[in-house]
Structure 1
Amino acid sequence: MLWLPIDRALNIPLNRQVYQQIRKKILQGQLQAGEKLASTRELSDELKVSRNVILEAYDQLLAEGFLIARRGSGTFVADGAFLAQPAKPFIFDNIDRQMAEENIINFRSGIPALHLFPRKTWVRIAQQLWHDSESTILGYGAPEGRIELRQALAHYLLKTRGVECHPEQIIITSGATQAMTLISRLLLTSDDIAIMEDPITNDIQTIFKASGATIYPIPVDELGIKANLLPDNLCPKFVFLTPSHQFPLGGILPIQRRIQLIQYARRKQCFLLEDDYDSEFRYEGPPVSSLQGLDPELVLYIGSFSKILSPALRIGYIVLPTQLIEKCRQLKWFTDLHTPSLDQLTLARFIQNGYMERHITKMKKFYKSQRNLLMHCLQSTFSHKVKVFGYSTGMHLIAEFEHINFTQELLLKIEQFGVKVYPVEDHTIEKGKYNNRLIIGYGHLKRNEIEQGVTRLFQAINN
């Protein structure tokens, strides 16, 4: 007789409990092909449940092919229903890991102050949309995104970043990562060459390397990419840049180098990829205009709202030269049909009604205060042994430490002191130039965490 534990306290119907347990025993080989099962009456008596419970479970197993019924003989396990189980992989205890990391002060860059997200305004706009909009907004959307958001973006980008485009040139994406992936599929094959700043964020390197293309690095200095080192003997598909705030070193590319890049792209008949990831938060001097505004038919302009508002929104965009629009739309359709419509419409109204500019103004003041505190803590704690630069824009700065080499052993020791830091070297293509520099993010931290984090960093380095 089968032993099947029945738990009436579970929120699972009894017939489902019987079905699941018999199914599992057959799949695992505990009940073997040809083996006869107890009759429905016998099993219902044994388990003290209604016979209908057993009938329903058997019927389900018969319908799925686990059992066969033979008139006059009974119910038997069918052939071919045993499935050998693979060895269970080692599973990391993510809960314990997360709990351990709760006590770590994490200086990761690029995380906004999420507690200052304008929730009330966002929710109010979303509620208005649900209440006022036609039911058609709940249907499928266009792969390039809602026209309302593309129109709002075209106006906003021209006003704030000097980006010259028509709404038809904008493709809405699920964050900048999808934008990069689409561009990789649009422009690169395994035989191609892509030029990139060095260092540049490792995630972007990974996306473009996945195409099989060759990545050709160009070093940067305190102003950004060294345009005079662009190779004349190569014909790249594009040059990837962060001209308004070089990641991670923080340089702002001057007009002379921008013109050199435009001239190079024209000569080589290639594109320029401009990643404008956080230049809204500029603290020293006026906003820097986009590279795209110098030649809209050569530059693909990439942006997102992950750092301005929240990574959870997953809304980014590409501003395309006209010759690439249709092919990119097709690729976007193949990828995910379209980006969620309601979030796009909420963001469109948020921009149109002036809330975006107000939010950026508020956040600039907050991040500048955070930056000033971090710089003060670093300089007062490490004195002349640290140099700070790349701090005029964004939510991170670069700290260069005298006579310190941030090896894996030292980074592990620092983490044991309750701090997580990120070496510039992790983002380099050619290794060995930035072993004494850290990327220190500050946007998401509390003021006491910044102070304690710098103190712990000092203790780890000097113990």
Structure 2
Amino acid sequence: MLLSIDRCKNIPLIRQVYNEISGKILDGSLPAGEKLPSSRELAKAIHVSRNVVLEAYDLLMVEGFVFSKKGSVTYVAEGAFLKREYWEQPVSSPIHSVHKKEMIHFRSGIPDLRHFPRKIWARLSQAVWTEISDHTLGYGSPEGAEELRRELVSYLLKTRGVKCSKEQIVITSGATQALTIVGRMLLREDDPVVLEDPITDDIQQIFKNAGGNLYPVSVDEEGLDTSLLPENVIPAFTFVTPSHQFPLGGTLSIQRRIELLQFARKTNSYVVEDDYDSEFRYDGPPLSTLQRLDPHRVIYIGSFSKILSPALRIGYIILPSNLVEKCRSVKWFSDLHTPAPEQLVLARFLAAGHMDRYVSKMKKVYRQRRDLIINKLKEAFPADIQISGHSTGLHFIADFPFATFSENDLLQMEEDGVKLYSVEQHAITRGIHKGKLVIGYGHLNNEEIQQGIRCLKNAIDRLM
């Protein structure tokens, strides 16, 4: 029996012997009933200690590959042969592929992680881990750490006008899980869901996967056009991004907010408010939320991915009181609870006022970058482009009336060193936004911005 043992591999010799023999049994090279060499013989043949072979044989016996009889004689067991199936299809690329380092990627919604407050976070984290109780290290409650929920109540009331108690908050692993939980809570197969059009494809897929039947409503500069809300549809909920519509960037006016809430009351349904990046408003303080107008009808979702870092995976849902227990149940059967230590660090970060100072600092950084990129776009395309949705957040829309951007065009742009996304890629009803590009800039420094606009200019000139 020939075995390939390599002492340079970072794999224990016992595991190598086991892998070699079990592989031969599985592929039929060692058929059922075949007698294996004694441990002494095999150890001598492959130049390992007898204990290595004995432990490998023991592992094979425990898993049923071999059995022993007549003292120490070892045989291959019946039923351990598995014919191998060969799959020729290639492994598909991940949904969000990693872009080339040399490419300027105008992706929206990514903060500048170079400014993440590492020293403060490390100090608070060390304090949390030093003081953390045994109870906190065990299984927690699905709604999340009380310390964080308590801090969120005061922080969101102060900054966004949100009205709630800590009992109405459920901490989630980011906004994506929050949206998934909402879908599982409220949707049955083919239940109608009213949502903005365009809206990110991820959100469309989350609600489709939960069984929702999507009813798109067009968006303009004032957000969701409430005059187009369906008259004969009773939705499970209406999904909106009222403070900074994604991707077009409009703000839902107070008149439309009221009309939307009246629609929800009339249909006895809910409104799901995704408040994904409105802390960064550059022409004044952040706008008040839709939830403030009707806390009993609005489900409010937020996260810290675009404020601090996507890696934290901390989001939250604020629910009407009658949905709290159902949400806790869905969260529990989703992942039990969001990890507690990072929640406690974030709670201390909020309590000490670090978040307020960090947001104030980053607003200045992002405003300067926004102004730079808009100026460079206007220099590159004088009188030819229209900018909108730039008062808030980490992206805006550049509309090129003279152009259309197909999927193939966007791929060709990558050859010029620039990665972009079109509004059409997020549209449910296609053909309306062909010349509009989503320009994300939060993660780009000044040099990258200028290089990116030069690449974009070259790419569009070539396409035209």
Q: Give the TM-score, by structure 1 length.
A: 0.96
| Contact 2:99-2:105 at 8 Å conserved across structures | no
Structure 2: gaps (5+ residues): none
Q: Partner of 2:38 in structure 1?
A: 39
Change in 2 beyond 3 A, CA 1:338/1:72: closer
Q: Please list, as runs of the form range in 1=range in 2, the aligned pairs for 1:253-332 lying within 5 A after superposition.
A: 253-332=252-331
CA distance in 1, matches of 2:370, 2:82: 58
Task: Provide the residue aligned with 1:83 in structure 2.
Answer: 82
Amino acid at match of 1:236: P
User: 1:3-82 to 2 correspondence within 5 Å?
Assistant: 3-71=2-70, 74-82=73-81
1:364-407 CA-partner distances (Å, limit 9, x unpaired):
00000110111011000011111111100000010001221101
**Shift of residue 227, structure 1, vs aligned partner:** 1.0
1:447 aligns with 2:449: no
Question: CA–CA distance in 1 between the matches of 2:230 and 2:57?
Answer: 72
Q: 1:315 & 1:353 partners in 2: Cα distance?
A: 18
Q: How does 1:313-462 map to 2 (within 5 A)?
A: 313-462=312-461
In structure 2, how many angstroms separate the alpha carbons of the residues matched to 1:253 and 1:139? 43
The Cα offsets for residues 242-282 of structure 1, whole Å up to 9 and x where unpaired, read as 11001111111111111111111111111111110000000
Between 50-59 and 418-427, the greater mean CA deviation after superposition: 50-59
161-170 or 262-271: which moved more?
A: 262-271
On the 8 A contact 1:417/1:456 being kept in 2, the answer is yes
CA-to-aligned-CA distance 1:166-204 (integer Å, 9 cap, x gap)? 110001000000100110011111131110011111111
Once residues 376 and 87 of structure 1 are traced to their aligned partners in structure 2, the CA distance between those partners, rounded to angstroms, is 56
- Matches of 1:73 and 1:362, distance apart in 2: 73
- Distance of 2:11 and 2:264 partners within structure 1: 64
Match of 2:228 in 1: 229
Give, in angstroms, the shift of residue 93 of structure 1: 9.7
What's the CA shift for 1:135? 2.4
Task: Give the Cα separation in 1 of the matches to 2:269 and 2:441.
Answer: 37
Cα offset, 1:120, TM superposition: 0.5
Q: What's the counterpart of residue 183 of structure 1?
A: 182
Which segments of 5 or more consecutive residues in structure 1 lack a partner in the other structure? none
Task: State which drifts further: 55-64 or 423-432.
Answer: 55-64
CA distance in 2, matches of 1:202, 1:93: 19
Output the aligned Cα RMSD: 1.8
Tell me if structure 2 keeps the 8 A contact 1:176–1:303: yes
- What is the one-letter code of the residue matched to 1:38? P
Shift of 1:333: 0.6
Once the 2 structures are TM-superposed, how far is the Cα of residue 98 of structure 1 from its aligned partner?
7.4
Structure 2 CA distance, aligned partners of 1:345 and 1:207? 29
- In the TM superposition, what whole-angstrom CA distance separates every residue of 1:65-122 from its partner, at most 9, and x where no partner exists? 1112231793221111111222145555979x97871121100000000010001101
Shift of residue 48 of structure 1?
Answer: 2.6
259-268 or 243-252: which moved more?
259-268
Residue 441 of structure 1, CA deviation: 0.1
AA aligned opposite 1:119? R
2: distance between equivalents of 1:462 and 1:370? 24
**Contact between 1:410 and 1:461, CA under 8 Å: does it hold in 2?**
no
**C-alpha distance in structure 2 between counterparts of 1:14 and 1:286, whole Å:** 64
| AA in 2 matched with 1:224 | G
The answer as to whether partners of 2:195 and 2:217 remain within 8 angstroms in 1 is yes
SS of the equivalent of 2:251 reads coil
Q: How far has the Cα of 1:39 moved from its partner?
A: 2.1
**Per the alignment, do residues 210 and 48 of structure 1 end up closer, same or farther by CA in structure 2, a change over 3 Å counting?**
closer
Amino acid aligned to 1:18: V
Mapping of residues 129-168 of structure 1, within 5 Å: 129-168=128-167
Partner residue of 2:172? 173
After superposing the two structures, state which structure 1 stretch, 73-82 or 201-210, moved more.
73-82
Asked if the contact 1:172/1:316 (under 8 Å) is kept, the reply is yes
Question: Which stretch of structure 1 is more off in the superposition, 117-126 or 51-60?
Answer: 51-60
Helix, strand or coil: the match of 2:317? strand
- AA paired with 2:346? L
Change (3 A) 1:224 1:66: same
How far off its partner does 1:287 sit?
A: 2.2
Q: Give distance in 1, aligned partners of 2:54 and 2:263.
A: 77
Contact 1:181 1:208 in 2 (8 A): yes
Instruction: Please say if 1:241 is aligned against 2:249.
Output: no
Q: CA deviation at 1:230?
A: 1.3
Bigger shift: residues 224-233 or 336-345 = 224-233
